[in-house]
Amino acid sequence: MRHLKFLLLFPIFYSVNCISQTVEEVSLPLTSKVEIKSDYGVEYVIYISLPPEYLNSDKAYPVTYVLDGDLTFGIAYNSRVLMSYGKEIPEVILVGLAYKEGFENIHNNRLRDFTPTAWSEEQIEKFTGVSGIKNSGGADAFLNFLEDSVKKHINNNFRVDQNNQTLVGYSLSGLFAVHVANKKESYFKNYLIASPSLWWFGPSLPDFSKSNGTSQMYWSVGSLENPEAMVNPWKKITSVLELSNFAIQSEILEDEGHVTAFNSAFTRGIKFLFKTNN
């Protein structure tokens, strides 16, 4: 199999540190950020975006947690604004999880946090073409951070509907979302799983037999993605789920590759999940 470096969400081809001229940063309305350090020493930036009516009401709102915030939060933010304005989804609190160091060390951070099992440094380099990855298999530690630190902060400081929480994962963070959804405990009501890196599981794909089966799921993959690594495992696992008790919608997004599929997946997935909720 050819290297899958692009499936780690491509080598980052730019960095804010490379911008030579002085630029003025912009801010998003009703959006703040907080920095939280994990028990394992990694510092994260948590973006918190409130719906427009939040300040003028006393109701609790659904929360959508978007992983890979360095890559996906902007897309999710703009999509939520347009879809809420068009009454296609309800008003929601949007939370994005990103790394304080931004794109620096991005492969190391993602391969540590989003992978459910540990691979050797040599195995990772052989399969992905990315060298120097010494730590993987940290998904459960990251899940504990998400539950005990991020969710706790959101629940304690904002009016949230704790029974209506959604997890959004894409690529490697989609792999993480699969790992969480496959657990016996019910961590989220909804899962939006876009182009998950199921190749990490190898031939032993999760069968969700231990999951409580109460979650709602949206699964997608691009038709132009790598067949062996991405599309075929996706077809296998979704065919099993469609015969289960899960409320699931799965679709192959035509003419979308790995780096473009998230745009369509987020809007289509979030619309399905909230339509089902209502």
Interatomic CA distance for residues 123 and 127, integer angstroms: 6
Reported pTM: 0.92
**In whole angstroms, what separates CA 49 from the centre of its chain?**
16
pLDDT value at position 242? 87
| Sequence-ordered alpha helix ranges (H) in 64-181 | 69-85, 106-113, 121-128, 139-145, 152-157, 172-181
- Tens digits of pLDDT across the chain (278 residues): 455 554 565 444 444 455 556 788 888 999 999 999 999 999 999 999 999 999 999 999 999 999 999 999 999 999 999 999 999 999 999 999 999 998 889 999 999 999 999 999 999 999 899 999 999 999 999 999 999 999 999 999 999 999 999 999 999 999 999 999 999 899 999 999 999 999 999 999 998 887 877 889 999 999 999 999 999 999 999 999 988 878 999 999 999 999 999 999 999 999 999 985 55
Judging by beta carbons within 10 Å of its beta carbon (0-12, 13-18, 19+), is residue 180 exposed, middle or buried? buried
Assigned token pair, 101: 């160091």
137 neighbors 118 (Cβ within 8 angstroms)? yes
Nearest to 124 by CA among 146, 107, 100: 107
Distance CA 9, CA 76 (A): 17
**pLDDT score recorded for residue 14:** 46
Query: What is the dotted CATH code of the domain comprising 5-277?
Result: 3.40.50.1820
Residue ranges per domain, the chain? 5-277
Determine contact, residues 237/201, Cβ cutoff 8 Å: no
Q: What pLDDT is stored for residue 277 in this prediction?
A: 56
